[in-house]
Amino acid sequence: MLVYILKSAACLAILFVFYKLFLEKESVHKFKRFYLLVALVFSLLVPALVFTEYVEVEPPAEMTYAVPKTALVSKEVINVPPALEADVLDIEPILWGVYFMGLFFFGLKFIRNLFQIFRRIRRNPKHKLNRFTQVLLQEKITPHTFFSYIFLNKTKFESKQIPKEVLLHEETHAQQKHSWDVVFVELLQVIFWVNPFIYMAKKAIKLNHEFLADQAVLQKNIDATTYKNTLLSYLSPDSEKKYQPLANAINYSSIKKRFTIMKTQTSKKAVLLRSLLLLPLLSILIYGFSQKDIDYITTPSANFIIKDFIVEINEDGEIIYENRPISLSDMSFEVEQLYSDLTNGERNTFITAYIFYDENSVHEISEVELEIKRAGLRNVEHVSQQTAAIVNNGEINPSIFHGKTIEESRALRKEIYDAHGTIWFDIRNENEIWFEDKLIALENLAEVIEDNFNPEDELNELEVHFYSTGILRSEFVEQLNIEARKTRAKKVEVRTEEYIMKEDDYQKKIPYTSSTVRLQTNKLTFQQEAELLYVNINKKGQLLVQDELVEFNDLDSFLSKINSHLSNEQKQKNVRSNIFIEFDSPKEVIDEVFKIVSKYSDASIYPIENELKPSSEDHTARSIEIRILKDGNYLVDGIKINKNQLTTTVNTLHQDITPEIRNDIMNIHVSSSSEISKNEVWHIFNSLKDYGFYRIVSPNQEVVKGKGNTPFKIIDSEYRLLQEKDSATPNQIAEYNLLAKKYNTMLAESKSIQIKKQDVDRLEYIYGLMSDKQKADAEPFPDFPEPPPAPKVPGVLKGEVSNIPPPPPGNAPRVLKGEVGNIPPPPTPPEPQSPLDHVIEMAKKGATFYYEGKKVNSDKAIELLKKNKDLNIQSTGGNSKKPTVRISKEPIYLDRSAKPTSIETGNIEINGDEGFYSKKDGITSYFNSNGEQIDKTGKVLNKKSENNPKFFFDNKQISSEKANRLLSSNRSIQLTSKEFTDGSYALLLTDLNSSFSQDPNRNYNPNSVIDLTEMIKKDALFFYNDKPITVEKALWLTKNNRIERVNTIRPKKGKPKVYFWDQA
């Protein structure tokens, strides 16, 4: 800030000196007004300008750093270590204090002057003209102007003692809006009161206003001598104290200077010359006072000539390089000297190392190759001197890049890679992934691959290679594999100096599949079980370590007791620690803590984000703290619960705001003393999705739901690489294709095949998960035949004796007609729960409440029940995660007459004729398009079965012929079934469109949330136009009114089936 003020003051000073020397005495007053205002703005903007210069430099040495993340910091405090307190007096707060005192003083003065002017306007009589308003004052004050207001002495004005030229002078100030200039410069003076040249510029601006007003008066043919005498008559020693500083007064400036300017005439040539002088001056100021930023770009040397690295092992085992012997320890030096201009990625891509060995020294090859790879060269080939002497005159065939420049090699490599579909990445550390000298983020890896290779054309050829000269952990390699597999790469290979993994994950022999990563490493290290370290430093320098308050002086001994089974070297390699700091945490404390923690772990510092997403409804940000305990339970805002109670518990918190507001302001902070798994974050994410939150923050990830983010993907035997929402995984698609191809082949060869129900259910489930694109690319869904009907019940003709054995007697005692039964009465039912208690119970479950069709919160629902106990209540989904409670003054009617029965209805095609069928208790009746009853072959029956249904439409019985015509001609006809006590049953036809128009408040459509919830609880199977769909899609179809007809099948055994139909 100080540098900016000094640059601004210097810039304004130079412009002001130029004005004094070349412009002030000239009569170009309008140009001078423009110049002074622009000079003020120019001097404020130029020091803030930043010009960036891009400089190409050689690639820098590798370095590591931590990626900032967010975490929870305790608000509890401990004493600040006195040894870390600053010894040097910091004067910055003192300077800021002085500045704000001046800002307050000048701001108060500015406001006071404005207030005085407005008070004079309000309290004194006014004389309005067309363009001006004359304010008549009682005080004996010099005439002055503020915007369109001209202040005059009332006595002199009424007695016409104010000369005409004075009035013209003040009207010019008002007409040319000089007050805007004055107010602008006064505001700048308030803010930049420390800049002395602001005062000088203000004085020059006001003086130039007087020049403009004098010029305008003289242009009205006023005698110059008379006008000068008038000005002298208004001059008095205390005149400057009597008018407002924000106004333009007639006697403000030096009279002598004004008289001189009145006689000055400036030629156009002089104006042009002075204007031309401004151009180089402004250029110099921009160059001298703007900021310069140098951006160093790391680029390879385009003219570097690629040269293969060739070492020779002679028959005595000596290592020869460039015709001179070297030791193994010299290998790294020679490689670095030769290829210092290349990055690691360029070395791995373009450089080939050859070991030219004598067959008597084969045992030396492995050590030499190891040293070459340690030096940073990955492409190593062995060439026998004896073999080369036979096939190539004792010479080594150079690599394809040998002798070419970097640019030529890049072009050649692109040709090769375009043919073979290979892409290489250079990993300097787990935070730096480089591709063609560009640093890319892990989440952008798949995008970079797709931008450089067409995954559709190279689907079976694409290979992705990662090279690292450092240490890679198994978790990081797993993320690399996930991103690379998004492009359907055929092969993923990782080469690294050292690879760290859990010992339990190690297998000597693993099957090679399409998702296997080929790993090459010089050193395999098993990760020791270790407790993660978490250190929080607040703005007062106080420490929270592993959920315990720790004094700074005790930190070393406290950390030494953690992971005591490991050596210090193992701790630094296997133990990870996160040090979370606030924006204003003391730097001295941070540095000392980092040094101590680094002795016991691989430490990283993470600043905490203090800014949260603002709410659109003026609500302040809120948070819920979830601590994952070692026993698997949760600590939610200090309340210990198990995992299954998370939704219920959180739903009791912050009920004064709606889920919509929580989606804007609620932050879920997740912490644990050990590493938090992805499964835990997913469990919390899914459990609280309906509750509403803006983001979930854990030590290893931040999930901003408001931006559509989801937690890290989970990989297990069932779900791998969820690439898009609402779609099947690659493993599921492979499983589906295998099953579908099997049955499609069997059906093509023979119609009489054995079909396993579990296979059909699995196919239907996966097919329902698949997206439209996945379905188009997958095997067709098998055309399974209809399941065989249940065996027919033997019929008995009228008048004949039935030989069907009677059913076995029931267990319950029977009472004959006219006798007295001794069946004991049923026990007295328990006293029902009161409506108020029921609503309170549902509120604890996180239910959604509606009152007269409008959504209300739980507090409102409880308040309604307390005021009126006669309200009617309907609850649904009581055992689900999101129950619904509807409250109404009017009675809530439920259709209890239509009980679930084993009745099935639907359309069927027999011999090319489209009819329909009904099935009750295993007996199926068929009807043709004319409504006549037929058998399975299409033959018309002379006598209808006694179990045939009756048909009703608009509460009137109709024939089966009319029922069939209605179903065929109107897709909005809803078909439902109803069973009567005598064993007969009816099929009810309802026109949904007309029913809704007659009574819009009544829901005739069975596609309601209540019916659908019931089917979901019964684990029903859903179909849309005869194709299986997921429960989620069924919900979406009903909510978006995409359904014209629903048929529900409730078999005696197995799951219910719900068929949705749209407009044909």
Please name the residues in contact with 727: beta carbons below 8 A apart, sequence gap of 6 or more: 769, 770, 771, 774
Indicate the CATH number of 622-688 among 3.90.25, 1.10.3470, 3.30.420, 2.60.40.
3.30.420
pLDDT, greater one: 568 or 884: 884
d(CA 635, CA 673): 12
Counting Cβ atoms within 10 Å, is residue 669 exposed (0-12), middle (13-18) or buried (19+)? middle
User: Average of pLDDT values for 75-85?
Assistant: 42
Q: Tens of pLDDT along 216-253?
A: 888 888 888 888 888 887 765 454 444 456 555 554 44
d(CA 316, CA 334): 22
Q: Name the DSSP class of 557.
A: H
Helix (H, G, I), strand (E, B) or coil at 269: helix
Say if residues 15 and 39 touch (Cβ distance below 8 Å).
yes
pLDDT, greater one: 445 or 910: 445
How does residue 881 score in pLDDT terms, banded at 50, 70 and 90?
low
Identify which of 564-568, 599-603, 723-727 has the greatest average pLDDT.
Answer: 599-603
pLDDT of residue 96: 85
User: Average of pLDDT values for 549-572?
Assistant: 82
How does residue 752 score in pLDDT terms, banded at 50, 70 and 90?
low
Please determine, for residue 635, whether its predicted confidence score (pLDDT) is greater than 80.
yes
Provide the sign of the torsion angle of the four alpha carbons 201, 207, 211, 212, taken in this order.
positive
Question: 854 phi and psi, to 5 degrees?
Answer: -105, 140
- Identity of the residue numbered 738: L
Say if residues 396 and 354 touch (Cβ distance below 8 Å).
yes
**Count of H-run helices and E-run strands, the chain:** 33, 46
d(CA 681, CA 692): 15
User: Average of pLDDT values for 722-734?
Assistant: 60
pLDDT of residue 897: 38
User: Average of pLDDT values for 186-192?
Assistant: 91
User: Average of pLDDT values for 404-418?
Assistant: 76
pLDDT of residue 518: 83
User: Average of pLDDT values for 479-487?
Assistant: 84
pLDDT of residue 76: 40
Q: Tens of pLDDT along 38-61?
A: 999 999 998 888 887 766 555 443
- pTM for the whole structure: 0.34
Q: Tens of pLDDT along 279-293?
A: 888 888 888 888 776
pLDDT of residue 1042: 66
How does residue 806 score in pLDDT terms, banded at 50, 70 and 90?
low
- Tokens of residue 874, six digits: 């309907």
Largest interatomic CA distance in the chain: 144
How does residue 313 score in pLDDT terms, banded at 50, 70 and 90?
very high
User: Average of pLDDT values for 515-526?
Assistant: 80
pLDDT, greater one: 89 or 163: 163
User: Average of pLDDT values for 300-323?
Assistant: 85
Say if residues 711 and 676 touch (Cβ distance below 8 Å).
no
Among the ranges given (314-323, 468-477, 623-632, 1033-1042), the one the predictor scored with the smallest mean pLDDT: 1033-1042
pLDDT, greater one: 248 or 183: 183
CA dist list (Å): 66 to 309, 429, 583, 586, 711: 35, 10, 16, 19, 21
CA neighbours closer than 13 Å in the CB half-sphere of residue 147: 8
Please determine, for residue 879, whether its predicted confidence score (pLDDT) is greater than 50.
yes
How does residue 617 score in pLDDT terms, banded at 50, 70 and 90?
very low
Please determine, for residue 319, whether its predicted confidence score (pLDDT) is greater than 90.
yes
Strand (E) or helix (H) holding 859 = helix 858-867
Please determine, for residue 203, whether its predicted confidence score (pLDDT) is greater than 60.
yes
How does residue 771 score in pLDDT terms, banded at 50, 70 and 90?
confident
Torsion, CA 483, CA 488, CA 491, CA 497, rounded to 10: 0
How does residue 463 score in pLDDT terms, banded at 50, 70 and 90?
confident
User: Average of pLDDT values for 785-790?
Assistant: 60
Please determine, for residue 558, whether its predicted confidence score (pLDDT) is greater than 70.
yes
pLDDT above 90 as % of the chain? 6
Q: 94-128 burial, b if ≥16 CB within 10 A, otherwise e?
A: eeeeeeeeeeeebeeebeebeeebeebeeeeeeee
Among the ranges given (87-96, 364-373, 535-544), the one the predictor scored with the smallest mean pLDDT: 87-96
Please determine, for residue 488, whether its predicted confidence score (pLDDT) is greater than 80.
no
Helix (H, G, I), strand (E, B) or coil at 725: coil
Counting Cβ atoms within 10 Å, is residue 885 exposed (0-12), middle (13-18) or buried (19+)? buried
Helix (H, G, I), strand (E, B) or coil at 969: helix
User: Average of pLDDT values for 11-35?
Assistant: 88
pLDDT of residue 82: 45
How does residue 894 score in pLDDT terms, banded at 50, 70 and 90?
very low
pLDDT of residue 353: 93
Among the ranges given (176-190, 348-362, 438-452, 1002-1016), the one the predictor scored with the smallest mean pLDDT: 1002-1016
Q: Name the DSSP class of 470.
A: S
User: Average of pLDDT values for 796-808?
Assistant: 47
Q: How far does the chain reach from its first CA to its final CA, in angstroms?
A: 72
User: Average of pLDDT values for 806-825?
Assistant: 46
User: Average of pLDDT values for 116-133?
Assistant: 88
Secondary structure, 3-state, 1010-1044: HHHHHHHHCCCEEEECCEEECHHHHHHHHHCCCCC
The residue to which tokens 């030499």 are assigned = 368
CATH code for the part of the protein at 309-391: 3.30.420
Q: Tens of pLDDT along 570-602?
A: 777 677 788 888 767 888 888 889 889 888 887
Helix (H, G, I), strand (E, B) or coil at 51: strand
pLDDT of residue 657: 85
d(CA 850, CA 837): 17
d(CA 1015, CA 1022): 9
Among the ranges given (302-306, 627-631, 689-693, 908-912), the one the predictor scored with the smallest mean pLDDT: 908-912
Say if residues 726 and 771 touch (Cβ distance below 8 Å).
yes
pLDDT of residue 311: 92
Provide the mean pLDDT of the chain: 75
Please determine, for residue 996, whether its predicted confidence score (pLDDT) is greater than 50.
no
Please determine, for residue 819, whether its predicted confidence score (pLDDT) is greater than 90.
no
Say if residues 137 and 153 touch (Cβ distance below 8 Å).
yes
Q: Tens of pLDDT along 903-920?
A: 566 667 777 776 777 766
Please determine, for residue 985, whether its predicted confidence score (pLDDT) is greater than 70.
no
Please name the residues in contact with 326: beta carbons below 8 A apart, sequence gap of 6 or more: 311, 319, 320, 334
Q: Tens of pLDDT along 367-407?
A: 888 888 878 787 888 998 888 888 778 888 898 889 888 88
pLDDT of residue 526: 75
Q: Tens of pLDDT along 148-168?
A: 899 888 888 888 888 888 889
Please name the residues in contact with 652: beta carbons below 8 A apart, sequence gap of 6 or more: 844
pLDDT of residue 321: 92
Helix (H, G, I), strand (E, B) or coil at 765: helix
Say if residues 22 and 278 touch (Cβ distance below 8 Å).
no
Among the ranges given (646-660, 707-721, 803-817), the one the predictor scored with the smallest mean pLDDT: 803-817
